[in-house]
Amino acid sequence: MPIYSLMKTAILLSLLTAILLAIGLFLGGIAGMTFALVFALAINFISYWFSDKIVLRIYRAKPAKDKKLLDIVEKLAREAGIPKPRAYVIPNDNPNAFATGRDPSHAAVAVTNGLAAFSHDELEGVLAHEISHIKNRDTLVQTVAATIAGAIAYLAQIGYYSMFSSRDDDRGNAIGIILIVIFAPLAAALIRLAISRRREYQADFGGATISKNPLALASALRKIASVSAQNPMRGNSATASMWIANPFKQDRFNSLFSTHPPIEKRIYKLERMGGKKGDADD
């Protein structure tokens, strides 16, 4: 991954941490800031060690036994230069996939039954995208970003309840709490989206490079988006950023805060890689 990209991600994660510490400082002074830091470290520790097990259990994923799927995962991992990740199948007809795990040596890829029915090239394109996430350690970065953003939302909720215990003569403090309750979670969400969207583009590029077939990935994304729009998956929306495309129901409002770039733009960029004419801005 380019150094400038790593630096931007580090800056965005630092901003998330700064927002978290600022909320703790405002709500409880130095003690509050210390609590915020310890709280963030604790939930990040849990996420680091157990996030893969938790999400695989949420979606009732089972170890894959299909030889075609296992052979593709082994081939792509070898091409990417990483250990072969564990492969799982999720009992769901909505085509989609995600990667999880704290590092390439402790990673897993999961595909739904619906995706397993795709053509060999399309399945390979999607799995290459997920293996690119693993190679770039996106699974860890996105987990940390989601965890810190969740901690910010939790502390903002504490601030919300503290408003009701504020005295009438403490209006300045109440105004500050209102700003924290409204704007801190919003800023955290926007920073998290910036991290997630950038890494989706990078995983598309990396996956297309690993599979050497960007058009197959573009075709798979088109099918996944079409099915998800007509028949959204049921699940925890907090896990939306993990999937190759958001499988949950979306409207105009929450699409503005989507963890993924516009699917049309991703397809357009992949088709450009595959030799089709045109151009698109990031």
Residue 282 located in a structural domain: no
Rounded distance between C-alpha atoms, residue 94 and residue 119, angstroms: 15
Q: CA nearest 244: which of 194, 203, 210? A: 203
Residue 281 located in a structural domain: no
Quote the longest CA-to-CA distance of the chain.
70
Q: Indicate whether 230 pLDDT > 80.
A: yes
Phi, psi of 271 (to 5 degrees): -65, -35
User: What is the pLDDT, as a whole number, of residue 9?
Assistant: 59
Percent of all residues in the chain with a pLDDT value above 90, rounded to a whole number: 41
User: What is the pLDDT, as a whole number, of residue 156?
Assistant: 74
Cα-based distances in Å from 29 to 85, 183, 236: 44, 19, 34
Q: CA nearest 181: which of 201, 154, 214? A: 154
User: What is the pLDDT, as a whole number, of residue 84?
Assistant: 97
Catalytic residue among 74, 79, 124, 130: 130
Q: How many domains does the chain have?
A: 1
Question: Per-residue pLDDT tens for 150-206?
Answer: 677 777 777 767 666 555 545 556 666 666 777 777 777 777 676 778 889 999 999
Residue 135 located in a structural domain: yes
Lowest model confidence (mean pLDDT) among 218-232, 238-252, 257-271:
238-252
Question: Per-residue pLDDT tens for 31-58?
Answer: 878 888 887 778 777 777 887 888 899 8
Mean pLDDT over 255-267 rounds to 81
Residue 279 located in a structural domain: no
User: What is the pLDDT, as a whole number, of residue 153?
Assistant: 73
Residue 190 located in a structural domain: yes
Q: Indicate whether 268 pLDDT > 90.
A: yes
* Vertex 196: Cα angle to 122 and 46 (nearest 5): 105
Q: Indicate whether 121 pLDDT > 90.
A: yes
Rounded distance between C-alpha atoms, residue 53 and residue 139, angstroms: 13
Mean pLDDT over 218-223 rounds to 96
Percent of all residues in the chain with a pLDDT value above 70, rounded to a whole number: 78
Q: CA nearest 39: which of 47, 188, 139? A: 47
- The one-letter amino acid code at 125 reads G
Parallel, antiparallel or unpaired: strands 97-101 and 107-112: antiparallel
Ranked by mean pLDDT, which of 130-144, 209-223, 231-245 comes out on top? Answer: 209-223
User: What is the pLDDT, as a whole number, of residue 4?
Assistant: 47
Q: Provide the residue range defining the domain that includes 153.
A: 3-273
Q: How many CB atoms lie within 10 A of CB 124?
A: 26
User: What is the pLDDT, as a whole number, of residue 282?
Assistant: 44
How many CA atoms are closer than 13 Å to the CA of 216, on its beta-carbon side? 19
Helix, strand, coil share (%) of the chain residues, nearest 5? 70, 5, 25
Residue 242 located in a structural domain: yes
User: What is the pLDDT, as a whole number, of residue 13?
Assistant: 66
Q: CA nearest 244: which of 120, 104, 142? A: 142
**Catalytic status, residue 79:** no
Residue 206 located in a structural domain: yes
Q: Indicate whether 3 pLDDT > 90.
A: no
User: What is the pLDDT, as a whole number, of residue 191?
Assistant: 72
Q: What is the pTM of this model?
A: 0.77
Residue 280 located in a structural domain: no
User: What is the pLDDT, as a whole number, of residue 236?
Assistant: 66
